[in-house]
Amino acid sequence: MLAANPTGKVPAITTENGVHLAESSVLLDYLEDAYPDTPLYPGEPEARARVRQLMKVSELYLELPARRLLPAVLAGVAVDQAVKDEVRAALELGLGSLGVLADFSPFVAGREMTLADIYLRYALAIPRLVGPAQLDWDIMAEVDGLAGWYAMMADSDIARKVDADMQANTADFMAFIASRKK
């Protein structure tokens, strides 16, 4: 993993030419460039930027702050109330921004599915976990249309395959994390 990604984190890929790449948004952009036949960014510059804005908001104000409470959920590590308050405030900013920026008509950025849908779905994984467990907060109910959109996104063969793969590998992943901490 360290050869594929110096941070040792997943996801990481090795291209057909043997080039190692990592960071989710970078991988998505690479796939977009390498396989242009089914574009997942709109063609027009402002619409493309809006999709990127949604992806950035999902990463910075939903996924990253929620990660701070992950050790509490996964390993029972005690967390100060001050940290919980900070995470809640950051998530409020993220969810509030999502409420303004997202269309859900039916996709996040409008009528076509874009990378923002893919990115948001997986960026939400950690807030969906830590919100109820650590903040007593159903974050999915916070934004109109979010829960319905999430259910729609989960209802496809590819989403079911990704979710099943993730579940099948969770035990190994958790064992790896636990072994590394010893």
Quote the Cα angle for 79-147-54, to 5°. Answer: 75
Q: How far is the CB of 43 from ligand GSH (least distance, A)?
A: 26
Phi, psi angles (nearest 5°) of residue 71: -60, -30
> Is 95 or 123 the residue whose CB approaches ligand GSH more closely?
123
Q: Which of 4, 21, 23, 112 forms a contact with ligand GSH (CB under 6 A)? A: 23
Q: Does 10 bind ligand GSH (CB under 6 A)?
A: yes
Q: Which of 8, 36, 39, 148 binds ligand GSH (CB under 6 A)?
A: 8
For every residue of 17-38, DSSP letters joined together read: TS-EEE-HHHHHHHHHHH-TTS
Q: Does the protein bind ligand GSH through residue 9 (CB under 6 A)? A: yes
CB of 88 to ligand GSH, least distance (A): 21
91 DSSP 8-state letter = H
Q: Cis link prior to 39 (omega < 30° from 0)?
A: no
Query: Residue 61 in contact with residue 94, Cβ under 8 Å?
Result: yes
Residue with Cβ nearer ligand GSH (10 or 164)? 10
Least distance from ligand GSH to the Cβ atom of residue 170, Å:
10
Residue closer to ligand GSH (CB basis): 29 or 103 = 29
d(CA 113, CA 118): 8
Q: Which residues bind ligand GSH (CB under 6 A)?
A: 8-11, 23-24
